[in-house]
Structure 1
Amino acid sequence: MIQPRTRLLDLGLREVWRYRDLVMLFVRRDFVSTYKQTILGPIWFFVQPLLTTITYVVVFSGIANLDTGGVPPLAFYLAGVTIWNYFAQALTATSSVFTANAAIFGKVYFPRLTMPLSIVLSNLVRFGIQLGLFLVVWAYFTLTTEAIHPNSALLLTPLLVVLMGGLALGLGMIFSALTTKYRDLAMLLTFGVQLLMYATPVILPLSKLLSLPNPYRWFILANPLNPIVETFRYGFLGTGSFSWAYLGYSLVATVVILLLGTVVFNKVEKSFTDTV
């Protein structure tokens, strides 16, 4: 269909809504294909965060003796790992949308934005399963110890998940657009996500990160992931801090990054087949 040139801010969301059934098919495909030929299957959704958390408990709490604010280390690290995994996995998968799906993009038309959306949604299903594991551990320590003090901030969990998904989607679309020309960025992103985790209160509380010298402190303050992870842990465990202003900063940053990512993605999708 021949159409006039679209405007820069024409995001095509109405067309994506018309193809919502296709989004659900992509979500089902991603969810089923990931562990289709594995022995443990969906059990890996539980094994992966649990093994990561146990490693952190042994290394950072046992050997390095890092402070967890009086919270049981297993609950402390599992809280950070659960919400961080959603962001990291969604970002990494979204960043390779163009290169990984070049064959299907070149054969049939559908709104390209449906693909990164489906990745974020399929990872949301994984997050829901891993959140269930965290809730079991959280309930156990809440009932057996007095170190955990949940509060009303845990009601913000849906907002925190939306912010995490929005940041992963926006950044993923930007990197996906850039990797059509610069494949090296895919390698750098994998390494960068690992480094970013250490600048986010997954292993250390935010108060410890902010005690670093000035150049690093400003970088940590500018990280929009920090208020999200800190609020998630504060709501369920009662440790750390909560600030509406800081969380508002994450909201603004998410909207800006998401809009920028959508504009860049829609611009590149028209010509990416010439470079992939």
Structure 2
Amino acid sequence: MNNQQYDWTIEPQSSLLDLKLKDTWAYRDLLWLLVRRDFVSFYKQTILGPLWFFIQPLLTTLIFTFVFGNLAGISTDGLPQPLFYMAGITAWNYFADCLTKTSTVFKDNANIFGKVYFPRLIMPLSIVVSNLVRFGVQFLLFLIVLGYYAFFTNAQFNATWAISLFPLVVILMALLGLGSGMLISAMTTKYRDLAFLVTFGVQLLMYATTVIYPLSTAIENYPDYAWLIKYNPMTPLIETFRYGFLGQGSFTWFSFGYTALVTVVVLIFGIVIFNKVEKNFVDTV
């Protein structure tokens, strides 16, 4: 028998539930190249470069402190206002960046997808990983602000055991943003105007999450709408983040488990729909 090696293998159409995770792992080197490309290209022609990682959360924290803390007088559960808002901003920014950038992955990379083959899942994964670098820098800034209040002011923080859940919180934020973004990206291939609504919708969604107010305040002052905030899957993650590092927050295992379940469901649906759409999206983009 003649044992020949072939470059191409013709196979039957894959199953809808085939997530192609094995192919994605085989192209992991491409993942790191795309992460490096995103980081270099985005800041290559900027004056301040990666310093924008620090500037953006600092300016947002100052604005939130002035508007929501001083003018509106919204409670922060007794925590220093800048620290309270920075905790919410740090967590929310990572989720929001993963969602918004993943939601347009087909439209933004149509030229690449139409010329060369690689597992398309690599592209949204590279977005999530590259955003993780930005999150790490902003989290470091949060720790610096936390250290300042701990050592140079009279503020008292009772860090709890929930701080051990921090890696899981980051993973859930990443996967929730990834799954949600892939679902939206599948729809933007046919309905372009959805891409314009994503950024605006994410900003509105922030106000339905405990970024600028604690969950306890929402339940006390707005009982008719508290369920909407409580069952927002990002709310338990932000509350766990604050509860672990600052000792203030509404943490329950039920809410945390609920978020984990929603994240898994959204991620699976996102990957399935993404893999289905990537087979013929070039005809519609």
TM-score by length of structure 2 reads 0.94
Give the conservation status (yes or no) of the 8 Å contact 1:70–1:147.
no
Q: Aligned residue for 1:113?
A: 121
Determine the C-alpha separation between the residues in 2 that align with 1:202 and 1:221: 13
Q: Aligned residue for 2:197?
A: 188
1:102 equivalent to 2:110? Answer: yes
Determine the C-alpha separation between the residues in 2 that align with 1:137 and 1:62: 19
Deviation of 1:66 (Å): 1.2
1:259 equivalent to 2:268? Answer: yes
Give the conservation status (yes or no) of the 8 Å contact 1:72–1:147.
no
Quick one: which amino acid aligns to residue 186 of structure 1?
A
Determine the C-alpha separation between the residues in 1 that align with 2:255 and 2:77: 21
Determine the C-alpha separation between the residues in 2 that align with 1:118 and 1:45: 18
- Give the SS at the match of 1:210: helix
How far does the alpha carbon of each residue in 1:188-241 deviate from its partner, in whole angstroms, 9 at most, with x for none?
A: 111110011001110010112233243x22222221111000000111111122
Determine the C-alpha separation between the residues in 2 that align with 1:148 and 1:199: 26
Deviation of 1:168 (Å): 0.3
Deviation of 1:154 (Å): 1.2
The partner residue of 1:206 within 186, 190, 215 is 215
Q: Aligned residue for 1:247?
A: 256
The partner residue of 1:83 within 70, 88, 91 is 91
Q: Equivalences for 1:100-249 in 2 at 5 Å?
A: 100-143=108-151, 144-211=153-220, 212-214=222-224, 216-249=225-258
Q: Aligned residue for 1:74?
A: 82
Give the conservation status (yes or no) of the 8 Å contact 2:210–2:229.
no
Determine the C-alpha separation between the residues in 2 that align with 1:142 and 1:46: 20
> RMSD of aligned C-alpha atoms?
1.0
Quick one: which amino acid aligns to residue 256 of structure 2?
L
Determine the C-alpha separation between the residues in 2 that align with 1:58 and 1:146: 20
Determine the C-alpha separation between the residues in 2 that align with 1:114 and 1:209: 39
Determine the C-alpha separation between the residues in 2 that align with 1:49 and 1:8: 41
The partner residue of 2:33 within 22, 25, 36 is 25
Quick one: which amino acid aligns to residue 210 of structure 1?
I
Question: Which consecutive aligned stretches of 4+ in structure 1 deviate over 4 angstroms post-superposition?
Answer: none
Determine the C-alpha separation between the residues in 2 that align with 1:146 and 1:76: 12
- Give the SS at the match of 2:66: helix
TM-score by length of structure 1 reads 0.97
Quick one: which amino acid aligns to residue 142 of structure 1?
A
Count the aligned residue pairs: 275
Determine the C-alpha separation between the residues in 2 that align with 1:37 and 1:101: 21
Deviation of 1:244 (Å): 0.9
Higher CA-based Rg? 2
Quick one: which amino acid aligns to residue 55 of structure 1?
I
The partner residue of 2:65 within 57, 64, 84 is 57
Gaps of 5+ in 2: 1-7
Determine the C-alpha separation between the residues in 2 that align with 1:102 and 1:29: 17
Deviation of 1:145 (Å): 2.4
Gaps of 5+ in 1: none
